[in-house]
């Protein structure tokens, strides 16, 4: 009996080993199949590295992951991965897609800026009917673009002012095919409750801001799909005895910073877990726009050359009005504010439901694509590990959308969305800036292709 058990264990271990270290004959592939050779695969589930693997891509999917490939010369396209690392494509979960007034050229440039930084999925947070069309074109490969999810047009205190409007708009947006509803500030409580009721009835989720009249606790209990910017949490820690006017909260609760009772933090984190609410921090907003850093220093950063001059001038004006010498900005209070946010982010990751990577681009000084690296630094400052940060931009978004069997990991059968980088991101998150190439649904963008297109974007931006 002991021998039988031993043999069964040995067979199981052998099968497991073969699953992780395949040496089988490569699967049949088409003439356009791509082979990435000798690359190190980052497992986003646990942070382990699968070394020196051969990845076969065919028809937009990962067809095989092998130790060796006997007929490597048979692949028309080979990508040398020696000494490099590959991760799944990243998701920017708080992106903004240009409105229809934007030229086609600038729209395509913005989508490329995301791709050039390894972002292969974007969640557009201010929807428009044109974005529904763009989403389908991206899906069919008719435009070079990340995978797109799009919100409805904004639901806010001006766009929906009655229960009747709430019913009508939510029903219409679901019928139009938007992926979710975008909630903005100003919505009154009874109107918000009707939005939630109708959304549940017709089968569409909601995400975004927490209106003051709603408050963080009711928002969490209403089961937002995601709350962005960690909105409402600081206000939720202000004791009732402080007797404040909720509308005096300032920039995401900044004005209430000295009143926050940090002992209330764990309760709010638990509520987010109990109600399965994902969090998108957009921490870069609070460490770049609303932060004690000068506009000139931000404007000197290399990625600013990809934004039109008129945009940069507008950013500088808003930044000066927000945190300049005459704005009333208090650096000491900001430091307390940012420390609270960092504590919230760490606790929400560790003890909440889940966290998603999002930077709110293109918001002030957040250049599409490039801003995701600033967001990662903000999460690192909050105490998250490189693996936790990478998970928030890969497998977590896939789980959020219920698409973990389609993308979000480097596994056979999944979409070929991946980023080839020059160093191990588990050791240094900045390795994600050193991109050797990006693949989006099987389309390969080499470093040379990326650089050539970026140069063109910069030239166009300098003229506008």
449 CB contacts (<8 Å, ≥6 apart)?
A: none
Whether pTM > 0.75 for this model: the answer is yes
CA pair distance 194, 304, nearest whole angstrom: 42
Cβ–Cβ under 8 Å, residues 182 and 208: yes
Q: What is 91-416+450-461's CATH topology?
A: TIM Barrel (3.20.20)
Tokens of 152: 């409805």
Phi and psi, residue 86, nearest 5° = -125, 135
Torsions phi, psi of 60, nearest 5? 80, 5
pLDDT tens-digit profile, the chain (464 residues):
444 444 444 444 344 433 444 544 556 777 789 999 999 999 999 999 999 999 999 999 999 999 999 888 889 899 999 999 999 999 999 999 999 999 999 999 999 999 999 999 999 999 999 999 999 999 999 999 999 999 999 999 999 999 999 999 999 999 999 999 999 999 999 999 999 999 999 999 999 999 999 999 999 999 999 999 999 999 999 999 999 999 999 999 999 999 999 999 999 999 999 999 999 999 999 999 999 999 999 999 999 999 999 999 999 999 999 998 888 899 999 999 999 999 999 999 999 999 999 999 999 999 999 999 999 999 999 999 999 999 999 999 999 999 999 999 999 999 999 999 999 999 999 999 999 999 999 999 999 999 999 999 999 999 88
Alpha-helix runs per DSSP H in 162-204? 163-176, 189-202
């Amino acid at each position: 009996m002991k021998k039988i058990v031993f043999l069964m264990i040995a067979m199981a271990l052998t099968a497991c080993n073969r699953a992780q270290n395949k040496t089988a004959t490569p699967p049949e592939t088409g003439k356009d199949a791509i082979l990435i050779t000798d690359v190190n695969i980052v497992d986003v589930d646990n942070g382990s590295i699968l070394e020196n693997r051969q990845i076969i891509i065919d028809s937009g999917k990962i067809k095989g992951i092998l130790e060796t490939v006997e007929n490597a010369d048979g692949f028309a396209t080979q990508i040398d991965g020696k000494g490099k690392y590959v991760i799944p494509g990243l998701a920017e979960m708080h992106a903004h897609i240009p409105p229809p007034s934007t030229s086609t050229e600038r729209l395509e440039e913005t989508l490329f800026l995301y791709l050039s930084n390894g972002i292969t999925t974007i969640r557009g947070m201010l929807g428009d009917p044109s974005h529904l069309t763009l989403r389908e074109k991206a899906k069919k490969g008719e435009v070079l673009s990340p995978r797109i999810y799009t919100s409805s047009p904004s639901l806010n205190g001006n766009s929906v002012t009655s229960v009747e409007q709430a019913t009508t708009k939510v029903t219409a947006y679901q019928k139009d095919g938007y992926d979710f509803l975008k909630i903005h500030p100003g919505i009154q409580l009874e109107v918000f409750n009707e939005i939630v009721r109708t959304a549940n009835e017709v089968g569409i989720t909601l995400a975004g801001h927490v209106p003051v009249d709603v408050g963080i606790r009711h928002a969490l209990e209403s089961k937002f799909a995601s709350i962005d910017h960690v909105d409402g949490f600081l206000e939720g820690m202000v004791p009732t005895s402080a007797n404040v006017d909720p509308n005096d909260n300032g920039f995401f609760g900044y004005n209430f910073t000295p009143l926050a009772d940090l002992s209330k933090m764990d309760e709010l984190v638990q509520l987010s877990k109990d109600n399965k609410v994902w969090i998108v921090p957009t921490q870069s907003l609070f460490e770049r726009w609303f932060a004690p850093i000068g506009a000139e220093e931000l404007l000197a950063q290399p990625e600013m050359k990809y934004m039109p001059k008129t945009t940069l001038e507008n950013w500088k004006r808003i930044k000066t009005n927000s945190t300049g010498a005459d704005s009333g900005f208090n650096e000491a209070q900001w430091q307390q504010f940012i420390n609270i946010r960092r504590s919230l982010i760490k606790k929400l990751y560790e003890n909440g439901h889940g966290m998603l990577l999002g930077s709110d681009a293109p918001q002030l000084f957040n250049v599409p694509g490039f801003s995701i690296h600033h967001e990662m630094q903000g999460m690192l400052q909050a105490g998250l590990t490189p693996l936790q940060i990478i998970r928030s931009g890969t497998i977590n978004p896939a789980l959020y959308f219920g698409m973990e069997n389609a993308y979000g990991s480097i596994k056979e059968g999944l979409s070929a969305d991946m980023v080839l980088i020059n160093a191990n991101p588990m050791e240094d998150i900045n390795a994600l800036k050193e991109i050797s190439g990006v693949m989006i649904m099987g389309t390969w963008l080499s470093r040379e292709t990326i650089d050539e297109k970026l140069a063109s974007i910069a030239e166009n931006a300098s003229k506008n």
